[in-house]
Amino acid sequence: MTRIVLIHATRVAMSPIEEAFKRLWPDAETISILEEGLSADAASGRVDSNELNRRINVLADYAMDLAPDAILYTCSAFGTGIEAAAARLDIPVLKPNEAMFEAAVANGGNVTMLYTFPPAVKGMELEFTEESNRRSTPATLTSVAVSGALAALKEGDGQTHDQLIAQAAADIADTDAIVLAHFSMSRAADAVRARTDIPVLTSPDAAIEKLKRILGSANAKGTLQC
């Protein structure tokens, strides 16, 4: 059985990816590691990016003790640290949004990114630009904040979270695709699609589809690297 270790920096990212695996890859075994201090310290600025990146890599090393076929991070704020882990480990290590951005850029045109966690935005915009440059595909990204949505979700009000994101999507025009920036936002995908005819991409679905492609089977362990 293929084993995927999921590394989370917030509880609200856990259910969306677990539900997506049940729907898209039920035969895969997932193991979750939660370290909430990462998102708390990123939001507060309590520690610098070098320390956050070190901790991201410590988590990757811990995950390797579980003998995974791949590692998937689910928090969007730590791309540099995840890239460092991916470069030194001999299994696929995915950033949360790399597969979603690959799909969005492949289509080209204008892309609108809805987000709820501001500390993640700068790094995500850079990742999108790097992917566009890598593919030599003309694609532009416009980032739109959905205020209050994440706070509502953390307070247990998922309905308000989803409604705020859906309303933000309904107000968007002149874009070729909408991407929901965070794993926690994917729960709102159906509500968003009910309010717009613009294609909507989510990071959990895209990440799982990429993992399925690059792994193929548990026998691919140790032979591929993202």
One-letter amino acid for residue 8 of the chain: H
Residue 79: name the closest of 57, 108, 106 by CA: 57
Is the model's pLDDT at 11 over the cut of 50?
yes
Is the model's pLDDT at 217 over the cut of 80?
no
Q: Is 108 helix (H, G, I), strand (E, B) or coil?
A: coil
**pLDDT number for residue 50:** 95
**pLDDT number for residue 219:** 46
Is the model's pLDDT at 21 over the cut of 70?
yes
Q: Over the stretch 77-95, which tens digit does the pLDDT of each residue have?
A: 898 999 999 999 999 999 9
**pLDDT number for residue 216:** 85
Rounded-to-integer distance, Cα 68 and Cα 134, Å: 28
Q: Over the stretch 182-197, which tens digit does the pLDDT of each residue have?
A: 999 999 999 999 999 9
Q: 225 falls in which pLDDT band (50, 70, 90)?
A: very low
Q: Over the stretch 32-75, which tens digit does the pLDDT of each residue have?
A: 999 999 999 988 999 999 999 999 999 999 999 999 999 999 98
Encoded tokens for 97: 């949004």
Q: What's the pTM?
A: 0.87
**pLDDT number for residue 220:** 39
**pLDDT number for residue 77:** 82
Place of tokens 């593919």: 135
Q: Choose the weakest-confidence range: 69-73, 99-103, 222-226.
A: 222-226
Q: Over the stretch 156-165, which tens digit does the pLDDT of each residue have?
A: 999 999 999 9
What's the rounded mean pLDDT across residues 20-27?
Answer: 96
Residue 63: name the closest of 27, 37, 35, 26 by CA: 35
**pLDDT number for residue 224:** 38
Per domain, the residue ranges of the chain are: 3-96+206-220, 98-202
Tell me if 3-96+206-220 shares its fold with 98-202: yes
As a CATH number, domain 98-202 is 3.40.50.1860
**pLDDT number for residue 160:** 98
Rounded-to-integer distance, Cα 218 and Cα 83, Å: 23
Architecture of the domain made up of 3-96+206-220: 3-Layer(aba) Sandwich (3.40)
Is the model's pLDDT at 223 over the cut of 80?
no
Is the model's pLDDT at 14 over the cut of 90?
yes
